[in-house]
Amino acid sequence: MRFATRLPGERGLAERDADQIALIRGQIMGVGDRWRVKHPWIAGHQDAIGMAIFVVAIAGVLGDAALYVAGVLPWWATVLVTAFWLSLLHEIEHDLIHSMYFRTNKWVHNSMMLGVWVFRPSTINPWVRRRLHLHHHEVSGTESDLEERGITSGERWGGHRLLSLLDTVLGYAMRPFRMRRLVHAYVAQAAQDPEDARRLAVTTPLGYFPLAGLHYGLWYLTIGLHIYDLFGGRIAYQGAHHALDFVAVTLLAPNMIRTFCLHFVSSNMHYYGDVEPHNVLQQTQVWTAKWLWPVHALCFNFGGTHAIHHFLVRDPFYVREAIRAECQAILREHGVRFDDFGTFGRANRFGLAAPTGSVEV
């Protein structure tokens, strides 16, 4: 039986949980090692595979746009298929954040980072997100986990949470003081020194600049023009209007629906608030229910594989998906929760009883 070394933050956990985490991590590592032995060519060309998926996904987005213009794909099919390609680019970005592709070739690595950002302009700057995401792994489930708290994890379900999942910018705008508090908590915990704190305080709020500003500005303009048209208004510059509709169908709307699917899954499958720091057993659950298939199709089965990633960061997304079934059996055997939808009523709390009194949001 293979055991993995405990990570530094896990040494303060209860002995039983720390040993359990090390056991799970070791077994998942063993599954991945056996998969690599069975598929040596794939395992030996990780950079090339990452680049191939990157290129294919971008070609898919451009191809969908061409088919839409040619009248082959209707608008709704263009939105859904393009959202799938964009979900692949999200996975590539996530792997890049963990330096899984072109680790020693910074030019190619950063070019890919720029590419996944340009085709997903609704998202945060990936270089800013790298710091947020690595911090997420360190403090998952706590107040300074800005990556998850920023997409409503830990908030009671209601109108604001739904609005935030449908439109991140409107969610932030509705509760600006909440976001200011979350950013402050993140900076206070993540900064290495006062100079780093000042830098984070500036770069983090600007993470959506400039692409997200352009994306959401065009999105709101598109919606506004269609509402104006619906009520009988006459729109000048019809050519520009049609061009805007083209951008909305081929890029803006696919990003909106993909983002909703990812944020809906991620914000609800992570636990928050009553988790022990660094205790991976309490950070996530696994989602496998069949009713989730439509949203999982547009976030590459995030709910089914992300818990694996919390235990072992090493594997790129396509390897996690390939070994998913065996790893899920390991997680289930060792008590990791599956399909705990009671979190919808518990504001992501790990405890199985609904929280009483006020819940901090």
Tell me the pLDDT of the chain (361 aa) as tens digits: 454 555 555 555 677 889 999 999 999 999 999 999 999 988 889 999 999 999 999 999 999 999 999 999 999 999 999 999 999 999 999 999 999 999 999 999 999 999 999 999 999 999 999 999 999 999 999 999 999 999 999 999 999 999 999 999 999 999 999 999 999 999 999 999 999 999 999 999 999 999 999 999 999 999 999 898 888 767 766 788 899 999 999 999 999 999 999 999 999 999 999 999 999 999 999 999 999 999 999 999 999 999 999 999 999 999 999 999 999 999 999 999 999 999 999 999 999 876 665 555 5
How many angstroms separate the Cα of 168 from the Cα of each of 52, 88, 99, 129?
A: 30, 20, 27, 15
Indicate yes or no: pTM above 0.95.
no
Q: Are 21 and 280 a contacting pair, CB within 8 Å?
A: yes
Range 39-76 burial, b when 16+ CB lie within 10 A, else e: eeeeeeebbebbbebbeebbebbeebbebbeeeebeee
Q: How many CB atoms lie within 10 A of CB 198?
A: 12
- CA separation for the pair 188, 190 (Å, rounded): 6
Q: Are 275 and 350 a contacting pair, CB within 8 Å?
A: yes
CA within 13 Å, CB half, 341: 7
Residue with tokens 């659950």: 285
pLDDT of residue 3: 46
Q: Are 21 and 13 a contacting pair, CB within 8 Å?
A: yes
Task: List, in order, residues 6 or more apart from 151 with CB less than 8 Å away.
Answer: 164, 165, 168, 263, 266, 267
Q: Are 287 and 264 a contacting pair, CB within 8 Å?
A: no
Structural domain spans, the chain: 8-346
Residue with tokens 């109108």: 159
pLDDT of residue 309: 98
